[in-house]
Structure 1
Amino acid sequence: MAHAPTRSQLVRWRAAIFAIFLASGLSIATWASRVPAIKSGLEIDNIAVGLLLLGAGIASIIGLSIAPIVLARAGARRGMLTALVIVGIGVATIGIGTDLLSSYPVVLVGLALFGFGNGAVDVMMNVQGAAIEKSSGRTLLPLFHAFFSFGTVIGAGLGVVAAALEITVVAHTGLMGAVIVLLALVSVAGIPAREDAGVDAAPAARPPWRERVLVAVSAWREPRTYALGVIMLGMAFAEGGANDWMPLAVVEDHGADEALGAAALTVFSVAMTVVRVLGGPLVDRVGRVAVLRTLAFTAAAGLLLFIFAPTLPLVFLGAALWGAGASLGFPLGMSAAADDPEKAPARVSAAATIGYVAFLCGPPILGFISENVGLLNTLLVIVVLIVLSGLFSSAARPLAVASADAPVGAPSRSRPSER
């Protein structure tokens, strides 16, 4: 765009990205809530489930790697529409492979499509969210990620209903796939037609392709990118591990039924959503660093309680603390990466890549480990990563450049809460 968006354009743009975050969360919770049924239907073990997740992870890495190119060439509107259509097809294919064909390879193909589409849309929607923060001058990425959590809450809740009513996986995933495609078709109309990777310049005024590639690569040579990556890696592991393994851990290790497994994921998602809704104003008041350190402690304590709890009520309390603590690591990492408006798209893409690799590839690794030491013991790995995330929280302190234009609603450099 050659000029700043009008108020009405900004509202429509923001609503569109809210819907896309929600659709992504809905897709992930739809898969996660039916993992026990899929495992049972295919008659596979945790290693085989881990291989399915690994396939989704590899596909997601491909998707997130090409996302900046898609943004530069096709723009956010067409890029995100295509990615979400692929996600919807992938979700439906998972159900077809489970119930109609009883085919492990078909389910793997479905997860590959699901992973590829989600990887691509994750980078694009975070770049768009950072651009909206810049235009509005407020911390908004936690709220965008709250809509992702709304999607996981709705998806997990529907998973509880589907499991309790013994609705087939194919019927459940087919309906959810159609809903995701419909959300994509409706929402992308609100994205500015010439918005391209969060850059406000018109296409003719943008730097040459080679120069944009060099800027994108430069983000990977900055130590701060990797420090932010540690923050996001720990919290992405915490979130991804819950989405993919919490229902199974509740069912197989805490002795509950499938509906209670999905209910635990719902509790996790609700807690995460509440903190993300409240997170923006809280960060503007006390600062990113203080919030991240506090939540890292909360997540570690909650996960330890979930692992060692002797009763189901304590398991659910642990799930709530785990979800609350893991809520803001990823969005605040994105916000920190966008502190410099001129380099925001490249830095956001790099940071999203690190976080998303952990989010998608972490759970398969946990699956392999769990076959040797048990699923609950394996979750202790996440506790260690959460502690590391808290130790690196100071990397999220706003850059000096942020105080000039306040692109992401960061507090002033002089505020003591940022120390």
Structure 2
Amino acid sequence: MAKLAENVSQRRTRIAVSVFFFLAGLCFASWASRIPNIQQKLQLNEAAWGGILLALPIGLMVSLPFSGILVARFGSRRMVIISACLYACILPLLGLATNVWQLCAILFSYGFAGNIMNISINTQAVGIEMIYERSIMASFHGVWSIAGFTGALIGTFMVSHNITPFVHFCIITAAELLTVLIFYRYTLKEDTQHEGEHPLFAKPDKFLLKLGLIAFCCMICEGTMFDWSGIYFRKVVMPPKEMVTLGYTAFMCTMAGGRFAGDWLSEKLGKKTMIQCSGLVIAVGLLVSVIFPFLVPATIGFLLVGLGVSSVVPLVYATAGKSSTMPAGVAIAATSTIGYFGFLFGPPLIGFVAEASNLRWSFSLIALLGFCTTVLASVSRIEK
């Protein structure tokens, strides 16, 4: 009976943390689904809008050194509850913004709160993974991807019924706060503790630096697919108009599906081999789409890229969270800081290279960076 009760408790905790991953994905996707409406409301051109959108990643980057410290000092459970509520409550303010400076300030705050939630829920996931004594991190990120699809569908429904972004966001916020109220009590009470005292401020050691560089290379590829896959299809593949988004859809589907299969595969192959194989799959997928820029092979290539990127960042977070040199939240924040530079600066790099040459050369460069994931994993002491 005691064993059964323990299993039920573990299962309940895993479900609760999965719910918080879902809330994070739903909140972000809700905002993303109404971007065109808010741009139209403020009557901004693409250049001005692009500048405004930088406020969110800037808030995210600014929060990175603080998020790990807050999680280490106050515990991931407390921070995931606070940040989830804050993240949800900022969302309706995005629908109320009436000028550029208001929106920039709100987006900065939104990115700041969102990243604290990201670090705290990943710290919770590391603790649960250690309880289960097997890889389960990728499945949590898979739940986030499903939430992204769900948020996009809800957004489409709201737009089709002429529901304003503010009302839409208020509905999402109410649902999220109610869900937090129900599930917060089942989250992991204590974070993973390592022997000895570790400073809250510490430079990443060589191992964490390599993990961060692995995340950097992978997230360059991921950011490229988010921002440039549709443009690549439209300008290079040149399919019928109704199929322009096929590559992006293919990428998103295999990225989400790959995360649910990633835990099982990493258990069979080992984390190091899994990351090595993922880098190869990313590189092959991108090269296929570059060498054969036609509808079917390019779509297959984008399917492979989605599969390749699906498990790398979850595995990096899981490995960093078990660092023996600093608390889990600080270690995850350290690797995230390096990784997010790739996510933020990869897409502009594509634009510069494409302007100097063409998009196919740009994607060839990203394929090389994808292969660097394999190289870096090969020279890192990642557990088998």
Normalising by structure 2, report the TM-score: 0.81
Residue 327 of structure 1 corresponds to 310
Where do 5+ consecutive residues of structure 1 fail to align? 201-205, 400-417
Identity %: 24
Distance in 1 (alpha carbons) for counterparts of 2:345 and 2:214 = 14
**Aligned CA-pair RMSD:** 3.7
1:95 aligns to 2:89 (yes or no): no
Residue 377 of structure 2 corresponds to 393
**Any idea what SS the aligned residue of 1:139 has?**
coil
Residue 350 of structure 1 corresponds to 334
Contact 1:233–1:355 at 8 Å: present in 2 too? yes
1:388 is displaced (CA, Å) by 2.0
- 1:225 to 1:295, Cα distance in 2 relative to 1, 3 A: same
Contact 1:130–1:141 at 8 Å: present in 2 too? yes
- 1:155 to 1:315, Cα distance in 2 relative to 1, 3 A: farther
Distance in 1 (alpha carbons) for counterparts of 2:37 and 2:216 = 29
1:321 is displaced (CA, Å) by 2.5
Contact 2:214–2:377 at 8 Å: present in 1 too? yes
- 1:258 to 1:330, Cα distance in 2 relative to 1, 3 A: farther
Distance in 1 (alpha carbons) for counterparts of 2:245 and 2:155 = 6
Distance in 1 (alpha carbons) for counterparts of 2:63 and 2:118 = 9
1:268 is displaced (CA, Å) by 2.8
Contact 1:160–1:259 at 8 Å: present in 2 too? no
Distance in 2 (alpha carbons) for counterparts of 1:283 and 1:305 = 25
Tell which deviates more after alignment, 363-372 or 84-93. Answer: 363-372
Distance in 1 (alpha carbons) for counterparts of 2:289 and 2:96 = 33
CA distances 1:23-53 after superposition (whole Å, capped 9, x unpaired): 2222333334444554455454554344233
Distance in 1 (alpha carbons) for counterparts of 2:88 and 2:347 = 22
1:287 aligns to 2:270 (yes or no): yes
1:291 is displaced (CA, Å) by 2.0
Contact 1:300–1:383 at 8 Å: present in 2 too? yes
Tell which deviates more after alignment, 159-168 or 180-189. Answer: 159-168
Tell which deviates more after alignment, 64-73 or 247-256. Answer: 247-256
Residue 403 of structure 1 corresponds to none
1:89 is displaced (CA, Å) by 3.0
1:8 aligns to 2:8 (yes or no): yes
Residue 205 of structure 2 corresponds to 222
Contact 2:128–2:188 at 8 Å: present in 1 too? no
Distance in 2 (alpha carbons) for counterparts of 1:70 and 1:51 = 29
| One of 217, 233, 236 as aligned partner of 2:219 | 236
1:227 is displaced (CA, Å) by 1.0
Residue 345 of structure 2 corresponds to 362
- 1:133 to 1:395, Cα distance in 2 relative to 1, 3 A: farther
**Any idea what SS the aligned residue of 1:199 has?**
coil
Where do 5+ consecutive residues of structure 2 fail to align? none
Tell which deviates more after alignment, 265-274 or 246-255. Answer: 246-255
- 1:65 to 1:342, Cα distance in 2 relative to 1, 3 A: closer
CA distances 1:183-214 after superposition (whole Å, capped 9, x unpaired): 33333221244x2x4338xxxxx97xxx43x2
- 1:398 to 1:126, Cα distance in 2 relative to 1, 3 A: same
- 1:364 to 1:268, Cα distance in 2 relative to 1, 3 A: closer
Residue 80 of structure 2 corresponds to 80
Distance in 2 (alpha carbons) for counterparts of 1:247 and 1:31 = 20
Counterpart code for 1:80: V
- 1:244 to 1:343, Cα distance in 2 relative to 1, 3 A: same
Contact 2:65–2:334 at 8 Å: present in 1 too? no
1:199 aligns to 2:193 (yes or no): yes
Counterpart code for 1:349: A
**Any idea what SS the aligned residue of 1:392 has?**
helix
Distance in 2 (alpha carbons) for counterparts of 1:40 and 1:370 = 30
1:21 is displaced (CA, Å) by 1.4
Residue 132 of structure 2 corresponds to 136
Residue 408 of structure 1 corresponds to none
1:113 aligns to 2:97 (yes or no): no
Counterpart code for 1:222: D
- 1:73 to 1:95, Cα distance in 2 relative to 1, 3 A: same
**Any idea what SS the aligned residue of 2:81 has?**
helix
Distance in 2 (alpha carbons) for counterparts of 1:22 and 1:137 = 23
Counterpart code for 1:199: Q
**Any idea what SS the aligned residue of 2:192 has?**
coil
1:122 aligns to 2:118 (yes or no): yes
Residue 71 of structure 2 corresponds to 71
Distance in 2 (alpha carbons) for counterparts of 1:266 and 1:331 = 21
How many residue pairs get aligned? The number is 378
CA distances 1:67-95 after superposition (whole Å, capped 9, x unpaired): 23322443323311221222223333333
- 1:178 to 1:51, Cα distance in 2 relative to 1, 3 A: farther
Contact 2:87–2:110 at 8 Å: present in 1 too? yes
Normalising by structure 1, report the TM-score: 0.75
1:331 is displaced (CA, Å) by 0.8
1:122 is displaced (CA, Å) by 1.4
- 1:224 to 1:239, Cα distance in 2 relative to 1, 3 A: same
